[in-house]
A and B are shown apart, each in its own frame.
Chain A
Amino acid sequence: MAYINLEKDVPGIRSLALFRPDTGKELYKLAQVLLRDDSPLSQGERELIATFVSSKNECTFCTQSHAAAAGYLFHNDTQMIDLVLTDYQNAPISEKLKCLLSIAGKVQQDARLVGDEDVANARKHGANDRDIHDTVLIAATFCMFNRYVDGLATMTPADPVLYGQMGARMGEFGYIAPSPTI
């Protein structure tokens, strides 16, 4: 049961966007800009960062839904996505992305842990200012979404099929705030 009176059967962030549409609208816009607008990082890479941070924050709803969106964008390479979550240093991803995930992990823990060395290492593997900025921004944003979703104990579906549908929608259409069903 959610801690506040949310619409029944609506999961995670969607139920919160319906509870308070004026903030929900802006949160969805933010997600759309971060994860879909232009960036040197592909949409799939950005979804991986979002999934990685959500997994570290143990937010099941965000982890499963963004893993599904990453799956949609990476042609269902679930093996790669699982490895990013459990052992990213050995995942079949670029060295640049590994460096960026390490920065994202520090932002998740305590942003002050990010140091010159982490940034220099990312640059050595081809990251530019925008890669670094977008990584920190996405990691920080998911530290917000994860807390918002879990802090109010929103509904977390268990059915993997539902997440598959969510991921396909997020991959195909991006982030559109839900409108109230009357």
Chain B
Amino acid sequence: MAYITLDNSIPGMRSLLAYRPIIAPPLLALMKVVMRSNQGLSLGERELIATYVSYLNDCTNCHTIHGEVAQCFYKDTPELISQIKENYTKNSLTPRLQSLLAIAESVQKGGKHVSEVQIKTARENNISDLEIHDTVLIASMFCFFNRYIDGLGLTSNDTKETYKERAKMIAEHGY
């Protein structure tokens, strides 16, 4: 049960947007720009960063739904999401993806944890300024979403199937 009275018929974040409609336009616009931009990072990479940060924050709602969305973009590697959650440095991820996730992991701990070495490695992997920027912003945003949801004690009635259904909608149509 959430700590405040919300409309239980609306799942996840949307129940919070319905509680305080005035925050919906900037948050949805931000999601649209940051998660669906086709410049730089791919849509799949954006979802992987969101999933990994949410997993580190142990926000079940977020890492499950975004993991399912990410999986929609990596159909050929059905184990990818569980591999990343387990240990992204020890599996067969590309150096590029490892570099992005390393920055995201530091952001999750705190902004000052991002190091010059991580940025240098990113550049060696041809990651651009815009891509570094978007990685830090996505990781920061999910430190926000995760806290907003868990800090208000949101629970979920979702099942594996309903998560998958919603993820498919998001992957196809966006936020």
Closest beta carbon of chain B to A91's beta carbon, Å: 22
Complex CA distance for A26 and B25, rounded to whole angstroms: 8
Q: Does B23 contact A33, Cβ atoms closer than 8 Å?
A: yes
Q: Does B111 contact A150, Cβ atoms closer than 8 Å?
A: yes
Interchain Cβ contacts under 8 Å between A and B, 12 examples: A5-B129, A20-B137, A23-B33, A30-B23, A33-B22, A33-B23, A33-B26, A107-B151, A133-B4, A147-B111, A150-B112, A151-B106
Q: Which of A33, A59, A129, A133 has the most CB of B within 10 A?
A: A133
Q: Tell me which of B25, B34, B106 contacts A23 (CB under 8 A).
A: B34
Q: Does A114 contact B129, Cβ atoms closer than 8 Å?
A: no
Q: Does A114 contact B144, Cβ atoms closer than 8 Å?
A: no
A interface list, Cβ under 8 A from B: 3-5, 16, 19-20, 22-23, 26-27, 29-30, 33-34, 37, 57-59, 103, 106-107, 110-112, 114, 116, 119, 129, 132-133, 136-137, 139-141, 143-153
Extra contacts besides A107-B147, A111-B59 (19): CB < 8 Å: A3-B132, A20-B137, A23-B30, A26-B29, A26-B33, A29-B26, A58-B110, A59-B111, A111-B148, A133-B20, A140-B151, A141-B148, A143-B147, A144-B143, A146-B110, A148-B137, A149-B111, A151-B103, A151-B106
Q: Does B111 contact A140, Cβ atoms closer than 8 Å?
A: no
- With an 8 A cutoff between CB atoms, is B114 at the interface? yes
Chain A residues with Cβ below 8 Å from B140 are 143-145, 147-148, 151
- With an 8 A cutoff between CB atoms, is B169 at the interface? no
Q: How many residues belonging to B are interface residues under a CB distance threshold of 8 Å?
A: 46
Q: Does B23 contact A34, Cβ atoms closer than 8 Å?
A: yes
The secondary structure that dominates the B interface is helix
The secondary structure that dominates the A interface is helix
Q: Which A-B residue pairs are the 8 nearest by beta carbons?
A: A150-B111, A144-B144, A140-B147, A111-B150, A111-B151, A136-B151, A111-B147, A147-B140
Complex CA distance for A116 and B2, rounded to whole angstroms: 10
Q: A26-B30, A139-B151 are in contact. Are A144 and B141 (CB under 8 A)?
A: yes
Q: Does B141 contact A129, Cβ atoms closer than 8 Å?
A: no
Q: Does B3 contact A119, Cβ atoms closer than 8 Å?
A: yes
Complex CA distance for A20 and B30, rounded to whole angstroms: 12
Q: Does A152 contact B30, Cβ atoms closer than 8 Å?
A: no
Q: Does A3 contact B30, Cβ atoms closer than 8 Å?
A: no
**Nearest CB in chain B to that of A103: its residue:** B151
**Nearest CB in chain B to that of A22: its residue:** B33
Q: Tell me which of B29, B58, B130, B136 contacts A112 (CB under 8 A).
A: B58
Q: Does B141 contact A26, Cβ atoms closer than 8 Å?
A: no
Q: Does B33 contact A114, Cβ atoms closer than 8 Å?
A: no
8 A Cβ contacts from B119-172 to A: 119, 129-130, 132-133, 136-137, 139-141, 143-153
Chain B residues with Cβ below 8 Å from A103 are 151
Chain A residues with Cβ below 8 Å from B175 are none
Chain A residues with Cβ below 8 Å from B69 are none
Q: Does A57 contact B152, Cβ atoms closer than 8 Å?
A: no
